[in-house]
Structure 1
Amino acid sequence: MPPTPSYPGVYVQEVPSGARPIAGAPTSIAAFLGTALQGPIDKAVRISRFSDYEHVFGGLSGDSELGYAVRQFFLNGGADAWVLRTEDAAPTAQRRGLRALRDADFNLLCLPAVAQGGVLADAASCCEERRAFLIVDAPGAATDPASMAQAAAGAALPGSDHAAVYYPWVHVSDPLKNGAPRLAPPCGTIAGLYARTDGARGVWAAPSGTEARLAGVVSLAASLTDNEIGSLSPLGVNCLRTLPGHGPVCWGARTLQGASEYKYVPVRRLALFVEQSLRGGTQWAAFEPNDEPLWAQIRLNAGAFMHALFRQGAFQGGTPRDAYFVKCDGETTTQNDVDQGMLNIVAGFAPLKPAEFVVIRIAQPAGRIQA
């Protein structure tokens, strides 16, 4: 109740704004599937550091890629992960493990060294249903650019814009062999790179380029030329390369569905982030009266969320009108929708796309330049 004025002067009243801020959804919680020395089978366990993995699953094993992938994830910037131990490396066990992830809340999915087409297809479908993203390892048999190009043109890799493949494999330091290099799939390293990039620059930034250094990577299994990278990139293969002065870096950010509007990894992942954030931030609207006051409140909340992203540089466009829109009114929600208990929110944004091709034009004057 406002205070009753009892003397001449200025009275201050705190009035609830009515706004319901929308928090950004997580973007880099990773899920790993594979065999381990010990631990529960087909039960996802959440960990926040590699020592947790050692405690629950027994640490590194020379017969499994899982531990090395998880170790590389945390080494490259990851901070939150689910680990699910499968009974063995057979496709049936891996599919069962995917189903067992239904209760885990993750954004990135890694199946270290898995190259079986059916399992990868199921993993991509899982990610599409869960609004997550699949990081695929190049097939272990793809030891040179020609064999990788053949694999990319085949049917083993999922043609999904919720997935990206990385080539080649990497050599990491192996504690089990006094630090000697060990060949390992790159998915854990890349998942950690995603997490590091999200935290430093935002999910809309491409996890590639000179800043995308691969921590813990001693060397790459293949050394690629510019022409070889140029032949693989159109196939949706994201290449790893070594740059002088920078070391091993990621040099690609394309999904495995190059023909879609989600050709680029950061565009796809930003859309997933916006979808998840708006979905979670509007749960309160369930069972509210479905009319203009509710629609106006949603426009206010969702618009504030999108504007915050615009100010952080997540979208193209110099003005909010050019960068994004949020629509929730009698056009998006018709009377028939109201009768069916439906509320429709339409949001759109102009995504930033990586500058893959930087062209430098140099003109050489024919005559002498006069001072």
Structure 2
Amino acid sequence: MPIPPRQPGVHVEEVPAGPRPIAGVATAITAFVGRAASGPVETPVTCTGWGDFDRVFGGLFAPSALGHAVRDFFLNGGREAVILRLHRSLPGQPDSARLVVRDPADEGALSLTASSPGRWGNALRARIDHDASEAEATALGLPAEALFSLSVRDGATGAVELFRNLTTAEHARRIDRVLAAESRLVRLDGALPAGRPAAHAPPAAGRTVWEDAAASSGVAPGAAAGDGAALQAQDFIGPGFEAAQRGLYALDRADPVNLLCIPPHVGDDPPEEVEPALLAAAVAYAERRRAFLLLDSPANWTTPAQAAAGPAALGVTSANAALFFPRLLQPDPLRGGLPRAMPACGAIAGLFARTDAERGVWKAAAGTAATLRGATGPALPLGDAAIGQLSPPGVNCLRALPGVGVVVWGSRTCQGDDRQGSAWKYIPVRRLALFLEESLVRGLAWAALEPNDEALWARLRQATGEFLQGLFRQGAFQGSTAREAYLVQCDAGTTGPADIDAGLVNILVGFAPLRPAEFVMLRLRQSAGRPPG
């Protein structure tokens, strides 16, 4: 209620102009789940370019297809990826490398461990210096004798971290707290030493501190780490993982996620398959998150006849997933540029992101403009006859077109089988619906606990209508008028007295989607030419 004025004069009151606008959510934030050379484990990390992934997760990694998929994503137009690294320990092998610096009074040891599992930590070296000044010590309220500096170098990348004015005493600059907050390379391992660790000696003449064993400490004997073992389905969807947000379900801490890729991880270098149990769990997770799962065809599908069974052969019949066949031939930098059949999910996710940015989520990422960058060809050449065999069951084909390149030649979901007659047959129709659902859920959250009356219904109709009208102007729906393109209903017809008593308000939203022109029919006829005039 407005506050009554207490004195004569002009008073200003700002009033809202209308309902809160609904903003469209992102459509192509892609989650990649798998094995990497380094980086946080079971912690989603957002990367906005290949440089981010290379710095945090170690770039391409021979035992895993994850790095190749992320590379292809950014190469094909992807802008934002959420990386979830999983790690499987190998019995008898340390997960993380450990470095130890002894205390001069033998009162304990300063033990450091690599910040994440992997062989990468074996190249770490650390150095202690006693270089704190009296002025710095006074400012921190500690004696200079309690302070030291720590330098850490990653021998593989050359990256060096320097932490000055650390202490083992109770203080904000206590070493374990500083490393946990600021270091990308190491963490404190075990208990704090009783006193300040000893400083390293100066390097020998002509050598750097990192080349001299007396000037810095390397990985302790017997503490070298390995890269772990190949992932299994239980590393993604183990018992209790969903409740604890572990494995695949650690993606719950990333919001939002629109596309989901799980590159093959079963088998030796290169990994080739994904377990059926994991596929089923990934589909269910994608449905819960209103995300879309991109499926690679199995490596043993080497003929069109093997792929003709379609998504049903993988046990996937969800509208929130799509299957692509065959894999892509790409030069592999880890093998001197030799061509290798690689999963296509990363490249296709990047293509989706590129198409969404250029045309909108309602445009099928397929056709002659849907070129896949970085691929030299499909792993299996497909002609018109093979594509005609694979499209009806819902297999999206990758093919090479002369003068164009490698393209996606299909845009059907795993409910795209002609015999099903599903309303979610096409990928852009399903992704548009997911986009509308997520945008409206987030954009109408303000309506919770508002008075459930005609005033609220009118505001909901207006906010939803304005959002859909904006999409209609962009060409997201069929129809020449708004009445033909979409419908918003929220009134006494959708929310009756029983609904009001139950605390419910119901909004009916309908839309007329654009469907891809899969078949362009040309009708030609001869006409008898007549001489002019």
TM tier relative to shorter chain: over 0.9
Question: 2:413 corresponds to which residue?
Answer: 255
Total equivalences in the alignment: 363
Question: 1:25 corresponds to which residue?
Answer: 25
Residue identity matched to 2:395: V
CA distance in 2, matches of 1:175, 1:139: 23
Specify which structure has the higher proportion of helix: 1
Matched ranges for 1:89-108 at <5 A: 89-96=231-238, 97-105=247-255, 106-108=257-259
Question: 2:51 corresponds to which residue?
Answer: 51
CA distance in 2, matches of 1:138, 1:185: 8
Q: Normalized against structure 1, the TM-score is what?
A: 0.93
Q: CA deviation at 1:13?
A: 10
Q: Is the 8 A contact 1:142 1:151 kept in 2?
A: no
Residue identity matched to 2:235: A
Q: Is the 8 A contact 1:170 1:186 kept in 2?
A: yes
CA distance in 2, matches of 1:364, 1:160: 46
Matched ranges for 1:125-140 at <5 A: 125-140=284-299
Q: CA deviation at 1:182?
A: 2.5
1:239 counterpart SS class: strand
CA distance in 1, matches of 2:461, 2:401: 47
Question: 1:370 corresponds to which residue?
Answer: 531
1:5–1:227: structure 2 CA closer, same or farther, 3 Å change rule? farther
* Runs of 5+ unmatched residues, structure 2: 88-229, 239-246, 265-272
CA distance in 2, matches of 1:318, 1:57: 49
CA distance in 2, matches of 1:308, 1:80: 25
Q: CA deviation at 1:288?
A: 1.1
2:479 counterpart SS class: coil
Question: 1:9 corresponds to which residue?
Answer: none
**Taking every aligned residue pair, what percent have the same amino acid on both sides?**
52
The worse-fitting range, judged by mean Cα deviation, of 225-234 and 94-103 is 94-103
Question: 1:81 corresponds to which residue?
Answer: 81
Q: Normalized against structure 2, the TM-score is what?
A: 0.65
Question: 1:354 corresponds to which residue?
Answer: 516
Matched ranges for 1:114-125 at <5 A: 114-125=273-284
Question: 1:285 corresponds to which residue?
Answer: 447
Q: CA deviation at 1:54?
A: 1.3
Question: 1:42 corresponds to which residue?
Answer: 42
Q: Is the 8 A contact 1:214 1:248 kept in 2?
A: yes
CA distance in 2, matches of 1:308, 1:142: 44
Matched ranges for 1:165-244 at <5 A: 165-244=323-402
1:278 counterpart SS class: helix
CA RMSD of the aligned region, Å?
2.0
Question: 2:300 corresponds to which residue?
Answer: 141
Q: Residue by residue, what CA displacement relative to the aligned partner does 1:295-350 show, whole Å, maximum 9, x if unpaired? A: 10111110000011111111111111111011111121111211121111110101
Instruction: Return the index of the structure with the highest Cα Rg.
Output: 2
CA distance in 1, matches of 2:312, 2:285: 23
2:33 counterpart SS class: strand
CA distance in 1, matches of 2:77, 2:529: 53
Q: Is the 8 A contact 2:310 2:390 kept in 1?
A: no
Q: CA deviation at 1:151?
A: 5.6
Q: Residue by residue, what CA displacement relative to the aligned partner does 1:178-222 show, whole Å, maximum 9, x if unpaired? A: 433232100000000010010100000000001101011122101
Q: CA deviation at 1:45?
A: 1.5
Q: CA deviation at 1:368?
A: 4.1
CA distance in 2, matches of 1:43, 1:208: 33
